[in-house]
Structure 1
């Protein structure tokens, strides 16, 4: 598949596509559901939840971080890197639905 000619699209269209892509894999949905029901999780926990390899989970985490659907942090006390759902993630996805299906 060829590359997308990004300059012909509005920034809001590109953002909607990025968010939709981030939600476009069942492993990412599983990660988001887990983070929605648990305050935060580290990569080891997400590997266990998804039953995927470390490198595969890492790729999914990168896609989700790039979309800003969730955030990453570091707990100095336990020395653990963790991920948590962006509090605005639901509103971000509602904007996509509203834009695409004209509920604005």
Structure 2
């Protein structure tokens, strides 16, 4: 997942383990894009495509103007515009989670 995002020029890609912090999921993948098109079309599309090739299919997907969330059950992918990621500060909210990759 991280490599797919980095190949599409995502910045600040983090895998955060939250298994011991919440029952919602085991991991969050957080990544930032420079513009709406990059976040919505490139990141989201290629993440979904790469995981589908591995036999992993999304449970649901939600998108707004500046944030795409793709729920795979055990993993939730958050793709943001820079300002939105900073405003919501998921890393701070889930600070008790363990950064696996950064």
Q: TM-score, normalised by structure 2?
A: 0.31
* Structure with the greater alpha carbon radius of gyration: 1
More helix by share: 1
More strand by share: 2
Q: TM-score, normalised by structure 1?
A: 0.31
Q: Which has the higher contact order (CA 8 A, sep 6+)?
A: 2
